[in-house]
Chains A and B, each alone.
Chain A
Amino acid sequence: MQFLKSWKTWVLPLCLFVSSAVAYDLNSPEVFPVKYQKPPAHAPLKMVVNGELNFVIAADLKAEQRMASRSKSAKSIAPAIRILSEAIEKCTGKKVQVVDVKNIPAGKNVIVVGDCSITRENGIDVFKLPNQGFAVKTFPRGIIIAGHDSSLIDGYNMKPLEQLGPRTGTRYGAYDFVERFLGVRFYFPGEYGTLTPAIKDLTITPVSYTDAPYFQTRGGIYSVISCLAPGRPRKFWEQWLGPLTNEDQRFYEKLRLGGDLPGSGGHNPRPERMAKSFPGKLKTIFYTSPGGNFWYNPKGHVGNYFNVVDLAFADLLIDSLKRYYDSNGKINEGGYACTNLTNISFGMCDTLMPDAEVFNDPIVRKLNLMTVNDMKRGANSGMANIYARFHQYLAKRIQQEWPGRKLWIMAYYNVRFAGNDPRWTLPPNTEVQLCLGDLPNKVRSPRHMKQMLKIAEEWYTSLGNRPVQKLWTYSGTSPFVLAINGEFVGDIPKKFGKYLGNTHIYFGQCCGIPGDMWFYYYSLYAAYRSEWNPNWNAAAAIDAHWEPFYGKETGKYLRQFHQLLRKCYMKYALNDDNGQSIIYPIPELRKMEELLAKAQKSVKPGSVEEKRLKLFMAPWKNAISSVRNQLSYERPVYKIRQLLPNEKVNVDGKGNEAFWAKVKPMKLLDPKGTGTPVKYPAEIKLVWDKTGIYGFTKTPYKPTFSKNRSVFLNDNFEVIFSPGMKKETVYQIAFDPLNQKFFGTQRFLPILQPFDTHWKAQGVKIAMVNKGNEWTTEFYVPFKVFDLPAPRAYQNWLCNIVRNKTGAQNEYSGTAMTLGTNRNLSMFGIIKFMGKGD
């Protein structure tokens, strides 16, 4: 092995130098490992000779066209030809001729693309390849790239609601060819993101191999498409990626994202659609707690909770689905997505239900659906058997109505744990989509994996010894994690073993639109390509790309920087439980800064490498500042003036009481700790008396809001208090320019409770004046809403006030460096209740 390694180190460069006879490495760590078959016996193929193309591209050019009316599928052969043509032109500077297989000119070699007579004559039956798979095989006149293409399958996806994805094996084969043989690398969209080495000579020795994706569906397409959408997202990314077109939105294809399976899982049904379709059945659809809290939010997704305690809701769903199927999807009362001839999905509304809201429900008590032992299994485990009962019933009803159709369930929040009551085992037509939160970031932490494997094992058992088929993972938000966690994605199937099937994996972005994904293109590249093949050596591929992509010296520093990021994560962050709050020691930060400075200094001004470096460098100044600021963070102390006996507040939103002018405003900062000055300041002032806290806010610009949006999607303020300094409880009050309000509370001590969105906050007053270009508010929060007496003078509370400015010029600011987590108590500022006359 050592011999082989050393052999490669000198033979490859030698070959490159002497004649480019074999200017490619079939087993480069940068390309996917594939299954090699015995190569055919023939002479090497001289494809490019002294800069001249000695080949044409040939295909059955009308094959897909012939099938267009008989197959509802994206094309594969035509895109493959385009991929090959573009890459060849970029690498050689020469346009390649594309001909039909019947018209291949004599004396030229040929790249045969897709299924055709030559493909079949050379023993390749594309439909015997795995779905989405492809074969690459040389023959005496050239090389065949052909895959399993649904564009050639008669009747494919033609039934209404079949909802199959395309099988584009040939297209994947074309990408593989240009990467493996031409050395092309697709790192990020736009003109700077692709590496196309110059090729003067290319001789291909006989070879035969096949490949197919490990995961049948590789998720992440939405993130790529939406972050490059025309308008604000595209404009944002053009700053770093250069000019972008709609074609760049298809960059996901280059990362091998996609899949042919019909949709499954997802937030289904949509609560707003259910409410609109069944206005008289809201109590059947949404849960009402024994205390009378009705978990229905007419203005948003979050805040709704389906009534999974009542099986009448399942019956309502089945009836609605019957109308959906009977009308071929035209009657869609639930906004059903991922619901087709194969799968029916049931999800939730991103809302965490406190166990206490359900524990005393009469049905729960009567059937003993929630026990103390259930609650002891882990965070949010109390409802596991409530869901198991509901899922079991729904799956059985589906089996009765549509035999063979599967129920897909979303396992997260209150469904994170599998039911363990033998009464509620899941029928065989149930499949699970699991989201564990800590993946891929903690996949290399034995302690975290132990917990996650236990959960997966319990689902495996609950499914009758069948694996979880779909796993959602998330990128996180810390640049220090984002830059390296893509390399961990490939570990996931290995670590989960038999508990995870190969149906679907998804690597989701956490930073919205336009997000930040391309700043960490190298990690994204690793993550998404690992969805195709988890055995691909992602880390080695990233290590190998720095110098070719940035130049020798710059690439060296960037590789060192990236390796330092890896080392620091493994050393300082892998095993902690601090979420996205990454803290590295100052000496490590200094080393990072030095390497970045050297990289910046070494790059050639005006070069493409400089443009690439601009993208790479973009997040790091703020990221490193943020850690430095965290290390030196001192909770800001805001001294709340106490009203004098003769001072009164009329809570009318005007703020025209004389004393407000004397009150010092709270300082707003970037909660993520970058130290970036706030561009859209807001005046936030607090005063108090022995009955409560009064607040005044003023934004000297037009607020953005819509009556159709919930408080959190409009311009808003979030006022968050935690009485005292012990971090026992947090109370959140949010309001927008329409005076829509949100009240929530969470208890942390003595026992951690879920966030309660049904806090009544009785007595809280909020009034406002919106003058168009200025929005002022006054609010009053009586101490009695905290079930506490008034604080003593000079007492301290924890507090964070968040200002969310929405719209095109959006900005997120706050009075504490909470690292983006608004209820991150450990980073809250302090409010000190001052004495009279202070």
Chain B
Amino acid sequence: MKSLLLTTLLIGTAAVIASPVQVQQGPARVYRPQRYSLREGVTIANKYCTYPLQFTLTKPVNERGEVFAMNLVGKKNCNFVGGFFSLTVNGYKMSELDFTKEKITRWQDGDRSGMELKLNFDGAKFTLRLFMRPDSPVLWGSLIYDKNSIDPIRKATIDIQALPSMLKIENRKVLFSNAYTRELVTPATKYSHNNKWVNLTPADTSFIFQDGELDGSAESKGSGPCWFWIDRTNLSRSQAFVRNSWKIFLKFDLKKDCQVVNFGLWHPAARISNAEMAEKLKKEPAAFTFK
């Protein structure tokens, strides 16, 4: 499994050498490919970072139908690995939607390059654009409501989840809870363990997902934090869920008249400590600003 992830990472890395932002699309390499009826990979990379994205449609099993998933892979231990971004619109989860390869297209605008994914929530249509630019390690995103939609947005929610630093394993057993010091750091505050969803303030515009102990300062302390930013302009409500658990969750409700939501995420290519990330964000604001 690990070697597979690394191989994927290497392929993605190799692709970035030629130009500032490299986008490569092809069949995704997945564990147990026989479980999938469709598996497509898109790797977006620049000299700072690589984001191997996988789009899969799981075959029906027993009472479960096909399941669509969009994952970030290729990074050992942490961060946005897994279902980092999902969207629920008018009661329909992204995982329920239909997926075909044709729904993915390449996207480029100047030196910004990436991909677009078409999403249709029973008539409420969106385009999810994910891209990089040469000067930033961030994977930028824009969720754009399609004006030709048949249905309006009645209720739409973006779910973000991240696994900071590392997942603990003791005696060959993964520890999913009660073994962490998870923290969500925003420009305004630091959210610590709390077993309920808390409303975010307007000042909470960007988020560092980190662990107070597994701070990435040494190999034994995981790979360190990751970062997420979202433009709150078209959002009606924003919430966070931080607890003594493996993942930290964010939830953003879109306004009914929302046309676009921009966001960005960065999971560093190499280990980084909590302090180093804070310092980098402070020192290089342009690289972490949406353009």
Q: Which residues of A contact B (CB under 8 A)?
A: 634-635, 637, 639, 642, 644-645, 724-726, 792-796, 830, 832, 834-838
> Which of B59, B62, B151 contacts A836 (CB under 8 A)?
B151
Residue in B closest to A826 when the chains form the complex, CB atoms: B62
Taking a contact as CB atoms under 8 Å apart, the answer to whether A725 and B150 are in contact is no
Residue in A closest to B98 when the chains form the complex, CB atoms: A838
Taking a contact as CB atoms under 8 Å apart, the answer to whether B120 and A725 are in contact is no
Q: How far is the CA of A724 from the CA of B60 in the complex (A)?
A: 13
Stretch among B16-24, B121-129, B225-233, B265-273 lining the A interface: B121-129
Interface contacts beyond A634-B59, A637-B66: sample of 13 additional A-B pairs, CB < 8 Å, sorted by A: A634-B37, A634-B60, A639-B98, A642-B122, A725-B60, A792-B92, A793-B92, A796-B65, A830-B66, A835-B92, A835-B120, A835-B123, A836-B123
Taking a contact as CB atoms under 8 Å apart, the answer to whether B92 and A637 are in contact is no
Can you give 15 A-B contacts (C-beta < 8 A)? A634-B37, A634-B59, A634-B60, A642-B122, A725-B62, A725-B64, A794-B92, A794-B98, A796-B66, A835-B98, A835-B120, A836-B123, A836-B150, A837-B125, A837-B149
Name the 6 nearest CB pairs between A and B, nearest first: A835-B122, A836-B123, A796-B65, A793-B122, A794-B96, A725-B63
Taking a contact as CB atoms under 8 Å apart, the answer to whether B123 and A837 are in contact is yes
> Which of A637, A644, A793 contacts B65 (CB under 8 A)?
A637
CB under 8 Å from chain A, chain B span 91-135: 91-92, 96-98, 120-123, 125
Q: Which residues of A contact B60 (CB under 8 A)?
A: 634-635, 637, 725, 796, 830
Q: Which residues of B contact A796 (CB under 8 A)?
A: 60, 65-66
Interchain nearest-CB distance for B233 vs A (Å): 27
Q: How far is the CA of A637 from the CA of B57 in the complex (A)?
A: 12
> Which of B122, B150, B151 contacts A794 (CB under 8 A)?
B122
Q: How far is the CA of A642 from the CA of B96 in the complex (A)?
A: 15
With known contacts A639-B98, A794-B98, A832–B150 Cβ distance under 8 A: no
With known contacts A637-B37, A794-B92, A794-B122, A834–B65 Cβ distance under 8 A: no
Residue in B closest to A829 when the chains form the complex, CB atoms: B60
Residue in A closest to B125 when the chains form the complex, CB atoms: A837
Interchain nearest-CB distance for A611 vs B (Å): 42
With known contacts A637-B37, A639-B98, A645-B150, A837–B120 Cβ distance under 8 A: yes
> Which of A634, A635, A835 contacts B121 (CB under 8 A)?
A835
Residue in A closest to B59 when the chains form the complex, CB atoms: A634
Q: How far is the CA of A31 from the CA of B65 in the complex (A)?
A: 57
> By DSSP majority rule, is chain A's interface helix, strand, loop, or mixed?
loop
Interchain nearest-CB distance for A474 vs B (Å): 31
With known contacts A634-B37, A796-B60, A836-B150, A725–B65 Cβ distance under 8 A: yes
With known contacts A637-B37, A639-B98, A832–B66 Cβ distance under 8 A: yes
> By DSSP majority rule, is chain B's interface helix, strand, loop, or mixed?
loop
Interchain nearest-CB distance for A295 vs B (Å): 35
Interchain nearest-CB distance for B118 vs A (Å): 10
Q: How far is the CA of A795 from the CA of B149 in the complex (A)?
A: 21
Q: Which residues of B contact A (CB under 8 A)?
A: 37, 59-60, 62-66, 91-92, 96-98, 120-123, 125, 149-151
Q: Which residues of A contact B98 (CB under 8 A)?
A: 639, 794, 832, 834-835, 838
With known contacts A835-B92, A835-B123, A837-B125, A794–B97 Cβ distance under 8 A: yes
Q: Which residues of A contact B97 (CB under 8 A)?
A: 794, 835
Residue in A closest to B68 when the chains form the complex, CB atoms: A794
Q: Which residues of B contact A835 (CB under 8 A)?
A: 92, 97-98, 120-123
Q: How far is the CA of A724 from the CA of B37 in the complex (A)?
A: 20
Interchain nearest-CB distance for A637 vs B (Å): 6
Q: Which residues of A contact B65 (CB under 8 A)?
A: 637, 725, 795-796, 830, 832
Interchain nearest-CB distance for A835 vs B (Å): 3
Q: Which residues of A contact B150 (CB under 8 A)?
A: 644-645, 836-837
Residue in B closest to A836 when the chains form the complex, CB atoms: B123
Q: Name, among B65, B91, B150, the residue most crowded by chain A CB atoms within 10 Å (CB to CB).
A: B65
Q: Which residues of A contact B123 (CB under 8 A)?
A: 835-837
Interchain nearest-CB distance for A462 vs B (Å): 43
Q: Which residues of A contact B151 (CB under 8 A)?
A: 836
Q: How far is the CA of A645 from the CA of B150 in the complex (A)?
A: 9
Residue in B closest to A724 when the chains form the complex, CB atoms: B63
Interchain nearest-CB distance for B63 vs A (Å): 4
Q: Name, among A724, A725, A793, A795, the residue most crowded by chain B CB atoms within 10 Å (CB to CB).
A: A793
Q: Which residues of B contact A639 (CB under 8 A)?
A: 98
Q: How far is the CA of A834 from the CA of B92 in the complex (A)?
A: 12
Q: How far is the CA of A426 from the CA of B149 in the complex (A)?
A: 73
Q: Which residues of B contact A724 (CB under 8 A)?
A: 63
Q: Which residues of B contact A644 (CB under 8 A)?
A: 150
Q: Which residues of B contact A793 (CB under 8 A)?
A: 92, 122
Q: Which residues of B contact A837 (CB under 8 A)?
A: 120, 123, 125, 149-150
With known contacts A639-B98, A644-B150, A793-B92, A838–B120 Cβ distance under 8 A: yes
Q: How far is the CA of A836 from the CA of B121 in the complex (A)?
A: 8
Q: How far is the CA of A715 from the CA of B66 in the complex (A)?
A: 34
> Which of A725, A830, A832, A836 contacts B122 (CB under 8 A)?
A836
Interchain nearest-CB distance for B253 vs A (Å): 21
Q: How far is the CA of A835 from the CA of B151 in the complex (A)?
A: 10
Q: How far is the CA of A794 from the CA of B90 in the complex (A)?
A: 13
Q: Which residues of B contact A642 (CB under 8 A)?
A: 122
Q: How far is the CA of A838 from the CA of B37 in the complex (A)?
A: 18
Residue in B closest to A636 when the chains form the complex, CB atoms: B60
Q: Which residues of B contact A635 (CB under 8 A)?
A: 60
Q: How far is the CA of A830 from the CA of B59 in the complex (A)?
A: 11
Interchain nearest-CB distance for A323 vs B (Å): 58
Q: How far is the CA of A171 from the CA of B125 in the complex (A)?
A: 82
Interchain nearest-CB distance for B126 vs A (Å): 12
Q: Which residues of A contact B62 (CB under 8 A)?
A: 725
Interchain nearest-CB distance for A594 vs B (Å): 25
Residue in B closest to A797 when the chains form the complex, CB atoms: B65
Q: How far is the CA of A793 from the CA of B65 in the complex (A)?
A: 13
Q: Which residues of A contact B149 (CB under 8 A)?
A: 837
Q: How far is the CA of A639 from the CA of B97 in the complex (A)?
A: 11
Q: Which residues of B contact A832 (CB under 8 A)?
A: 65-66, 98
Residue in A closest to B151 when the chains form the complex, CB atoms: A836
Interchain nearest-CB distance for A380 vs B (Å): 28
Q: How far is the CA of A6 from the CA of B92 in the complex (A)?
A: 78
Q: Name, among B60, B121, B149, the residue most crowded by chain A CB atoms within 10 Å (CB to CB).
A: B60
Q: How far is the CA of A725 from the CA of B123 in the complex (A)?
A: 24
Q: How far is the CA of A387 from the CA of B64 in the complex (A)?
A: 44
Q: Which residues of A contact B66 (CB under 8 A)?
A: 637, 796, 830, 832
Q: How far is the CA of A645 from the CA of B123 in the complex (A)?
A: 11
Q: Which residues of A contact B122 (CB under 8 A)?
A: 642, 793-794, 835-836
Interchain nearest-CB distance for B280 vs A (Å): 42
Q: Which residues of B contact A725 (CB under 8 A)?
A: 60, 62-65
